[in-house]
Amino acid sequence: MAEYNPKIDRRSQTFGGVLSLPKLGLKTEKLSHFHMYWHDVVAGPKPTAVVVAKAPTTSKSNNYFGGVVMIDDALTEGPESSSRLIGRAQGFYASAGIHEAATLVNMNFVFLVGKYNGSSLCIMGRDKTLSPGVREMPIVGGSGLFRFARGYILSLNYQFVMAKIHSKSALSLATLSLLFAILCINCIIVAVDGELQTFGRVLNPTDLGPKKEKLSHFLMYRHDIVSGPNPTAIEVASASTTRNSSTFFGGVVMMDDPLTEGPELSSKLIGRAQGFYASAGINELAMLVNMNFAFMVGEYNGSTISIMGRDALLSEKVQEMPIVGGAGLFRFARGYVQVRTQKVNVTSGDDNLIPELGSLRIHLFTRLVRDHKRTKWLSAIPTNSGGLSDAAVG
């Protein structure tokens, strides 16, 4: 890797400097294709996926809502588990759907062979695991030869293997093998050449038919219900000190919140906010938010945007979180979400908030794979549009 000696710009902070891109050896963006198999073994003598957190109600849920599973799964060149090992899928998936089998997936594909050895791809998205069709998740980054990577994964269930566990005939999922066709834009640093492994090759970007990047704006409302008879957010993990913390530090909450067109919960349902938020502030109420917005209406039905950021939950100011990727019509999406808490209802005799209502304004660039029609809650905005002021939200 090229060495660099950053010079501190007078306008920058003492901890930041301006770098010369050529000195980093940055190259032209190139599109590559990988094909491999992912083996997720959740039972048996050598599982590669283990449950690490869940809510008291998780085991009674039809979709195991709130369950968090840590994985270190084999990525192989062929469908057999004995096939050549290419790498490992390491991370977690969490059941984020109350009424459907939808998981939040956060993982790295770390490669272990050839010139890709030590390089990795970062994946964050929504996966309807048991769906019979092809599914898509965003690639939001990478390291090594995949530095600055962005792209997407197409996955298809290849094989389910059911086995008797401890001589019980009840169905237990022993092995789940997924066929992955990974379409990854190897940005800037990756130089793909004739030395590619058998699981990788170069693609022509025009074959994918992406259209010109477009800036769009959405306005919707998210309802986060943490108690009552029908909560949409449940605690799945905490530390021994969390209950004594004024900021609930260490608490992790899984959510499947409605996204509506208007501020009323009875308003038209646009989609679901599925993922988790975790209290990451000791002295302030600051949340790590990791979620997918899954749209469920019109032409956007089945498309998602992936959001990861920080939210000062009860602040009166407008909060901002990055959009790190998307799937479907929002493939290659980048942008930001601006959110402001509109209303917090506290039920008499209950210390929990029921519900929190937040207005969301979403600005995103996306390379649409086909043209779309505007809806009431979506409008195109000019690229020179500024951000929202506190007064503009709500």
Sequence-ordered list of residues with C-beta below 8 angstroms from that of 307, at least 6 positions apart, any chain: 275, 289, 290, 291, 292, 293, 321, 322, 323, 324, 337
**117 or 200: whose pLDDT is higher?**
117
CA distances from 207 to 105, 146, 214, 333 (A): 28, 21, 19, 19
**39 or 389: whose pLDDT is higher?**
39
Residues 115 and 119: their CA atoms lie apart, in Å, by 9
> Is residue 137 exposed (0-12), middle (13-18) or buried (19+ Cβ within 10 Å)?
buried
Residues 37 and 83: their CA atoms lie apart, in Å, by 9
The verdict on domain 212-371 having CATH code 2.40.480.10 is: yes
- pLDDT at position 206: 57
Contact 104, 53 (CB under 8 A): no
Sequence-ordered list of residues with C-beta below 8 angstroms from that of 338, at least 6 positions apart, any chain: 318, 319, 320, 360, 361, 362, 363, 387, 388, 393
Looking up tokens 């479907």 gives 328
Could you report the per-residue pLDDT of 293-333, keeping only the tens digit for each? 999 999 899 999 999 999 987 777 888 999 999 999 898 88
What mean pLDDT do residues 14-19 have? 62
Longest Cα–Cα distance in the chain: 71
Residues 55 and 98: their CA atoms lie apart, in Å, by 13
Query: How many helices and strands in the chain, by DSSP H and E?
Result: 0, 20
Could you report the per-residue pLDDT of 83-124, keeping only the tens digit for each? 999 999 999 999 999 999 999 999 999 999 998 999 999 999
Structure tokens, 331? 């493939």
Instruction: Report the chain's C-alpha Rg in angstroms.
Output: 22
Structure tokens, 21? 């891109």
Residue ranges of domains in the chain: 35-159+372-379, 212-371
Does 130 score more than 50 pLDDT? yes
What mean pLDDT do residues 153-176 have? 51
Residues 140 and 137: their CA atoms lie apart, in Å, by 9
